[in-house]
Structure 1
């Protein structure tokens, strides 16, 4: 791809490839070093190691940029055994091939510093400059079950998405779908889906083969569509934060009769929309105070927008990536083809009023 971000794209892709090796080493292990965070979500040794690798490598190339990531090193500092396991996981990458592609921390102390560089980072407002956003393992709950997960790397400029690189070790680069949590690429190659603002969305194998793969540019399938063309991706009966009966009623009102694609991880839902295996998703949180987290959405949303999709919250507001680590200026998500987004948004409002849940709207 010829774009102003060619160098950033090259660095991000090669780093995600090395990060995928870390994740796959842990994926096959029965003991993933899982601990529970304050919000009751799990984190594994792969999450910590990948965030360190992403930050050290990209910081070494772009030292003036800022960083935001999901994890902090607090659990590592409090647990020497866990710290040592993460450090040993990174040391496995110290072969000549990886050293030529990525930079590793020089010590466990630097590893923790780099993790915290993201873990305490804030995206900032329109004057914030360049900010990289990482989700080292999106879908940790399914990752622990040896199911689908993603490695999310995004670059923001002034709070706007300009680059997205998502590694999907379990998903094939060529599929007609539908795909879901238990989908597993039998070829073992996996996929990388990436986009640059104004230059489209592409897919290629994650693992290098004998010849350099030529990325395939995805058609702008969501630039124009009718309601009859709608195909959904969502997450039913796996998270207690969403209003499942409203989601199902909205799909029924839009005439969507099949479950379609189903993913726990938000990044993989955006990937599915970018690939054209679905073109609509809706998420209504049970409470107005519940919000998304920037690393689950930043960059990955660009994959859908670059094929003609439009994304707002359930109030119709643009997603504000400058609000902070949590998307406190937005409630939920409505993503649909640009040409019929207003119809989908109206269906959301109609169902919430019909179900007596209008309090969830602004």
Structure 2
């Protein structure tokens, strides 16, 4: 059974609260009348989620550090006043006495940055809403929180409001109960409904598929996040015959951990060859997969190193598998890059 600690309790409670908040933002702000390209709902959700998580961290674990995706700089400008008012409205549903100044301060707790030689050994990293397009479409998105110590993820929690917990694992379900996953180093990966409580956790395991041709590849719906042409070539190199599974956000890692697929690959996009993965895009998802029995490395097979700052500067791309197919994936990557 999952051994509860103050850190695990904080992370689960904070992500649960942030996921519920994101749902409310989506329900109230994402409408049919939303102009194409208008990302204001996810902007409000990002800011409100980060503010609430930062405040809960400050209260639960005083002195703990947070590295988040958002900064309140724009909200402090006159042009950001209307957005700040919307953010404040949602934050006050969790923290009724919050002021505009406090909201900005909480958000900026996650904007911390340090020189490479002064980067802290231990810190939390947050993606307040991972999967912008999925959030706006009503498809998959996630709240992702991870604790990093010594360059390695120790705790990861994913809140996936559009995934349902079933007896077979996890499956997409719009407007359902959602799924909350927690992984702790050496303790496995566990899941319960977002609105669950107590000890009704169920342990997850990756699939035992070892035939490369049967690999179900979990692929981003958002094309700008990876090199889809190269992924097609990888599929050919591995002889994959199974249909891919399209899914946004770190919800893919949740489904992989639950046995609903065998591989995720983040290749470098052709128009961004020097791109470095952000730590908050990989921290929680990577440990969720690893503790379910999977394997996560960069494209050369090296472990992900979270000790370089806000990006995975020591790694190129990401490949996550059920472990049984990892060497096949790396061999295929070497072939297409030969």
How does the TM-score come out when normalised to structure 2?
A: 0.88
Q: Specify the SS of the correspondent of 2:337.
A: helix
Structure 1 residues 9-56: Cα deviation after superposition (integer angstroms, max 9, x where no partner): 11221222221221111111245899x99xx99952111011000011
1:55 is aligned to 54
> Hey, what's the Cα distance between the residues in 1 that align with 2:97 and 2:92?
9
Match of 2:94 in 1: 93
Deviation at 1:176, TM superposition (A): 4.6
Residue 293 to residue 61, structure 1, CA distance change in 2 (3 Å): same
Q: What residue number does 1:352 align with?
A: 337
Is 2:149 the partner of 1:157?
yes
Work out whether residues 138 and 174 of structure 2, in 8 Å CA contact, stay in contact via their aligned partners in 1.
no
Say which SS state the counterpart of residue 156 (structure 1) adopts. strand
* Aligned pair partner of 1:262 in 246, 253, 256: 246
Contact 2:205 2:257 survives alignment (8 Å): no
Question: Match for 2:294 among 309, 316, 320?
Answer: 309
Counterpart of 2:133?
141
Counterpart in the other structure of 1:323: 308
Once the two structures are superposed, the pairs formed by residues 191-230 of structure 1 within 5 Å of their partners are: 191-208=179-196, 212=198, 214-219=200-205, 221=207, 225-230=210-215
Q: Aligned match of 2:260 in 277, 285, 293?
A: 277
- 1:93 and 1:337 mapped to 2: Cα distance? 38
User: Structure 2, unaligned stretches of length 5 or more?
Assistant: none
Q: Contact 2:155/2:183 (CA < 8 Å) preserved in 1?
A: yes
**1:92-131: per-residue Cα shift (whole Å, max 9, x none)?**
235xxxxxxxxx7742212111111102345967983321
For 1:357, the equivalent position in structure 2 comes to none
- Counterpart-to-counterpart distance in 2, 1:126 and 1:251: 41
Q: Partner of 2:232 in structure 1? A: 248
> Would you say 1:341 and 2:326 are equivalent positions?
yes
The residue number in structure 2 matching 1:45 is 44
**Distance in structure 1 (CA, Å) of the matches to 2:122 and 2:214:** 37
1:173 pairs with 2:174: no
1:98 counterpart residue number: none
Note if contact 1:42-1:141 (Cα within 8 Å) is conserved in structure 2.
Answer: no
The answer to whether the 8 A contact 2:204-2:292 is kept is yes
Q: Secondary structure at the match of 2:156?
A: strand
Tell whether the 8 Å contact from 1:126 to 1:158 is kept in structure 2 after alignment.
no
Using a 3 Å threshold, how does the CA distance of structure 1 residues 126 and 255 change in structure 2: closer, same or farther?
Answer: farther
User: Are the aligned partners of 1:178 and 1:260 in contact in 2 as well (CA < 8 Å)?
Assistant: no
Q: Helix, strand or coil: the match of 1:334? A: strand
Structure 1 residues 340 and 2 mapped into 2: Cα distance closer, same or farther (>3 Å)?
Answer: closer
2-side partners of 1:55 and 1:47: how far apart?
A: 12
Could you report, residue by residue, the CA deviation over 1:199-231 in whole angstroms, capped at 9, with x for unpaired residues? 1011111013xx746110113546x83435532
Q: Which runs of 5 or more structure 1 residues have no equivalent in the other structure?
A: 95-103, 354-362
Q: How many residues align?
A: 332
Q: 1:321 & 1:24 partners in 2: Cα distance?
A: 30
Q: TM-score, normalised by structure 1?
A: 0.82
